[in-house]
Structure 1
Amino acid sequence: MAKKLVIKVTSGADAPERCSQAFTVAAVAVASGVEVSLWLTGESAWFALPDRAAEFELPHAAPLPDLIAAIQAAGTITLCTQCAARRDITEKDVLDGVRIAGAQVFVSEVMAEDVQALVY
């Protein structure tokens, strides 16, 4: 069984079910004791900003701010460097605890031993 789960979220409000699934799986994994690294890319990059997750709505889904808080409690949230740059998001703009990192960090995480990677 993998000791770490790396999840890359590529969707946001443009594909709410897929987006919500990624955050839900990450939060459940953290609650289950799995080490989680959640990567925000593409349209999900906006959820690295304060209050943006509160705007996200999906019937019968856990609120995104609650899922983010659960993930941050014991996991890592990373915003893609290029995705941040394309949206003029800087380190001073993001939620506390969110890091900005690039492809080389992502590749090193997914290539590590005992890692399972998912893309949503």
Structure 2
Amino acid sequence: METVRTAEAAQKTLVIKVTAGANEPERCSQAFTVAAVAVASGVRVSLWLTGEAAWFALPGRAAEFELPHAAPLPDLIESIRAAGEITLCTQCAARRDITQADVLEGVRIAGSQVFVSEIMADGVQALVY
């Protein structure tokens, strides 16, 4: 029975858009935690960093994040990067002077057209935090 659930999960994609950063630590942590749990469950994950969450695309920024009783953000990001996809919003990056050369390895910078195409695909569930 577990194999069936895993196979079904692997066919679906979960797109998560994180708008909160260190300014709203609980909301931010919830988004990364859900993404990491989904990846660990075999779900294809596409995590979008927008707004204040954009800073977590930079090396070392997640290590500065603290929230009692929460999994360390660097660990969550690593698990998502290992088996999912992390995208930094183009406009959010530009507003913060972040370029592709600045971001963690494997993080892409893309815009709304890519986001819309991802959330409109068959088998996709989307969450916004």
TM-score by length of 2: 0.92
Quote the residue 2:81 is aligned against: 72
Opposite residue 74 of structure 1, the aligned amino acid is A
TM-score in terms of structure 1 length: 0.99
Whose relative contact order is higher, 1 or 2, with alpha carbons under 8 Å and at least 6 apart? 1
Task: Name structure 2 gaps, 5 residues minimum.
Answer: 1-7
Say how many residue pairs are matched. 120
Q: Describe the superposition over 1:47-96 as per-residue Cα deviations: whole angstroms up to 9, x where unpaired.
A: 00000000000000000000000001110000000000000000000000
Q: Distance in 2 between matches of 1:71 and 1:96?
A: 12
**1:41-120, aligned counterparts within 5 Å?**
41-120=50-129
Q: 1:13 aligns with which of 10, 22, 25?
A: 22
Q: In 1, Cα distance between the equivalents of 2:113 and 2:83?
A: 23
User: Identity over the aligned pairs, expressed in percent?
Assistant: 84
Larger Rg: 2
Q: Whose helix fraction is larger, Structure 1's or Structure 2's?
A: 2
Paired residue type of 1:21: Q
**Matched residues in 2 for 1:38 and 1:100: separation?**
12
CA RMSD, 1 decimal: 0.9
**TM superposition shift of 1:116:** 0.1
Residue identity matched to 1:22: A
Unpaired runs of 5+ in structure 1? none
Instruction: After superposition, give the CA deviation of every residue in 1:22-67 in whole Å (9 maximum; x if it has no partner).
Output: 0000000000000000000000000000000000000000000000
Q: Distance in 2 between matches of 1:26 and 1:112?
A: 18
